[in-house]
A and B are shown apart, each in its own frame.
Chain A
């Protein structure tokens, strides 16, 4: 599991996750992900197009980060999940709490 920062400035952060958000993947990435999203939080696009699997533990990591961000006035948007990952997120009703979009321009529009 890898995390890559695409953009980080005063107004927005754009990060990308690669790999499997399962027990092992979440263990690998959770600390860095929480640091990136919740320390001095800014509106954040999380590109999950390269996430090939997500379990309830991975969903919990996204929820924890988004909750911390919201308390400090920042929002998270999830970008471009695969069909199966999107189906998992929707089955967990996460799309009702964290927007899921299919393009970077739509993500930036929501975070503006």
Chain B
């Protein structure tokens, strides 16, 4: 596997609050990471973070039915992937979200609720800030 190049210029996206946008972003980021020699696990973990964070924002951050823009920027380098996601939705701190319920039986298991848990498990560092009415989530993967 080729080693990762020194930190690349940031890749930036402006994303509509529409779930169809998630695949577009993930396809572009995957190509970017693979061209820079990122390993399979780093690519997978980055795809997982993008899918879970963006879908969470798109589904839950906006209750007004209006169009919103989410900003995502990403850099890849020797330290891995650094990603920042900024949205103007309601305040939500994923780093403080409770762990999902660990069911003892299928009957009591909820189908959802594990997205943030997966992001935390596959990322090396996550920070959150609420600043000027914006959610700012920063991840190192």
Contacts and interface: CB of A to CB of B under 8 A. Distances in A.
B41 A84 contact: yes
Q: What is the interface residue range for chain A against chain B?
A: 20 to 34
A28 to B, nearest CB: 11
A24 B48 CA distance: 13
Contacts of B2: none
B89 to A, nearest CB: 18
A57 interface: yes
Contacts of A93: 102-103
Contact of B26 (A22, A63, A91): A22
Q: What is the interface residue range for chain B against chain A?
A: 20 to 34
Given A56-B112, A84-B40, A91 B51 contact: no
Contacts, number: 70
Interface string A47-87: 00000010111011101101100110000000000001000
28 contacts: A22-B22, A22-B23, A22-B26, A22-B47, A23-B19, A23-B22, A53-B48, A55-B48, A55-B52, A55-B115, A55-B118, A56-B113, A57-B112, A59-B111, A59-B114, A61-B111, A63-B110, A63-B111, A67-B106, A67-B111, A70-B107, A84-B41, A91-B117, A91-B122, A92-B117, A96-B104, A97-B105, A98-B106
Interface of B: 19, 22-23, 26, 40-41, 44, 47-48, 51-52, 55, 102-107, 109-115, 117-118, 121-122
